[in-house]
Every structure is written in structure tokens, then in C-alpha cells.
Amino acid sequence: MLELSKAAQALAGLQTQPLRASHDVPETQAYAAVVDLQPLIDWRGRYQDAQAQMAITQSAATAAAQTEQRLRSLYQAGHNASLQAVQSAQATLLADQARAEAAQANARMLLDSARQQWGMVLTRWAAEPHASPFEALALRQQVLLRVTLPMGSAMEHPPARIQVAGPDRGAQASALFISASPQADAYVQGPVYFYRTPAGTLASGMRLVADLPQAGTPTGGVLIPASALVWHADQPWVFMQTDAMHFARVKVLDPVAAQGGWFVHQGFHPGQAIVTTGAQTLLSAQLASKNGSSAGDDDDD
């Protein structure tokens, strides 16, 4: 316990704030990679060509069918159409129908091939001729993420929104669910999901860490601001203000990194005032006042 007058507190620049309630949602940590979208963009071009070819051959087959029907009607009515002309029109119709069927088969094959690699949703987005979520990916307003879970951790309902960050746990961003991938990871052998997130500075091939919330009851606790935590004897501590002039150093048990600080589920309750600015100054003053006290004595504070 430390006692500081109001004047000493002001001189040290101490600031306090009440703890606020928070909760911790169980999460699964996964690895994510920014996907190179060029193969899907190339596929889109081939599929659009296949659709154009399908339209051309279908139009030719329709025209050939009309010509064949007209000549056959004239021949049957005994007018100016020979049997040879009818037979020639029928041959042309069969050839045009065969080309139309081949074009349709090629388009279906391209769709099936993309679905095997990219799944139903991304394939549908890429196949749409007009504005779709795919445009944001193609224009690099967003990037596609391939999120790989550890083996045996498949989710029946993957979360609609997850948090992703660099390996150093720097700036975080939200990512939105697209679909499950039809292909598992070759090395991890875990399930794979596609997500999308704002491009920012993310480049193709970049590795990220993803946190996926699990189904379950959140754990209640408090959020301790990062600036309030001090370390001594390899243990995390905070200074709690017990009254106007007294501060107690309290050990923080099992802190969990969270946005804006540390989540703690035991030892504290909302409304308790803790020092958020000047905690290190208080620790130095307390240790100096010990005048040779052992580290073991310190840990009992």
C-alpha cells in the first residue's frame, strides 16, 4: 500500500479510471494468407469468351432451325424448294446444334472446374457479368483471404466476421465470411474458409493470424487498459486506488490480450479505480521505499 497526498499525485501526473465490464469470447486461432486472385481473373476472361461463343452458336442454330423449317414447309407444299435444299438445311442445322452443344459443354466444364478450386460462391461472383462483390476484389478494394484452421477444428457454422492481424499482432482488421473452400490445406490438413477484408497494405502471399470466435458462453470480467499494467518479478500488476490518498498494488491473474488492453476474468470487478497513467512511477516509489525488501515480500503485496 502506498500513501500519496493530492499534491504528490498531481506532481507524479497520476490518472485513474474505473474498470469497465467486458467479456471474452472463446476463440480458435488460425492462419490466413492473402490469395493471388489472378488465376480467377484469368478464368473469368475464359468463361466470358465461352459465354460469347455459346451465344453465337445458339443464335446460328436458331437461324438454321428457322431456315430448315421454312424450306421443309415449302417442299411439303410443292412450292419452290427442292428435297436437296431441305436436306442441306437439315445438315446445316445439325452442325450448328452440335457446335452450340459443344459451346454449352465447354462453359459447363469451366464452371465445374472453378467450383472445384474456388467453391460455389466465388465462382458465381466471378461468373456474373455485371457489378458484384467480385469487382471489389478484382479492383483490389478488398483482398481474398484463405483461412486455415488447425486439423480437427472444423466449424459447422463459421463466424460471419473474424479479426485478422499480422504475425506481430499489429493493426487488426475485420474480415467477412464468403464460403468454405472445397480444398483442404496440403500441409496442415485442416478445413479452409474464404474471407474478404479491405486491401489496405496487404499484398498477395502475405501471411496473417486470424481469430475465429467459437460458439459458447462468453466469460465475464473487466478490461484493463494497456497503460495500467506494470511488470515486476515477471508478474503483471496494477495499482488500485483504495481511497483518495492510498494505492494498492494488485497482481493480475491470467490476463488475455484484447483490443485496447487486457481482459481479466478474476480478481477485479467493474467500477474499481485503477491507475492508468503513472503506474510505473508508483512501482518505482514503492520498490524504493522497501529499502532492501526481498522480491518474495514484494510479490505478497
Beta carbons within 8 Å of 199's beta carbon, 6+ residues apart: 140, 141, 142, 143
Please tell me whether residue 202 adopts helix, strand or coil conformation.
coil
Q: 196 — phi, psi (to 5°)?
A: -130, 145
DSSP state of 252: P
Q: Output b/e per residue, 140-171; b: 16+ Cβ within 10 A.
A: eebbbbbbbbeeeeeeeebbeebbbeeeeeee
CB-based contact 141:198 (threshold 8 Å)? yes
3-state helix vs strand vs coil in the chain, percent to 5: 40, 30, 30
Q: What stretches of the chain show up as alpha helix (H) in DSSP?
A: 6-12, 38-76, 83-127, 133-138, 279-290, 295-299
What residue segments make up the domains of the chain, in order of their start?
Answer: 2-25+218-299, 28-35+136-213, 38-130
How far from the centroid of its chain's Cα atoms is residue 109's Cα?
30
| Local structure of residue 21 (DSSP, 8 states) | E
pLDDT by residue, tens only, the chain of 301 residues: 888 888 888 888 999 999 998 876 667 788 899 999 999 999 999 999 999 999 999 999 999 999 999 898 888 887 778 889 889 999 999 999 999 999 999 999 999 999 999 999 999 999 987 777 999 999 999 999 999 988 766 677 888 998 898 766 666 789 999 999 998 887 877 889 999 999 988 999 999 988 887 765 567 889 999 899 999 988 999 999 999 999 999 999 988 877 778 889 888 999 999 999 999 999 988 888 775 554 444 454 4
Coil/strand/helix, residue 242 = strand
The verdict on domain 2-25+218-299 having CATH code 2.40.420.20 is: yes
Q: At what angle do helices 38-76 and 83-127 cross, to 10 degrees?
A: 160
**pTM assigned to the model:** 0.64
Q: Which grid coordinates are listed for 210?
A: 486470424
CATH superfamily label, 28-35+136-213: Efflux pump adaptor protein, beta barrel domain (2.40.30.170)
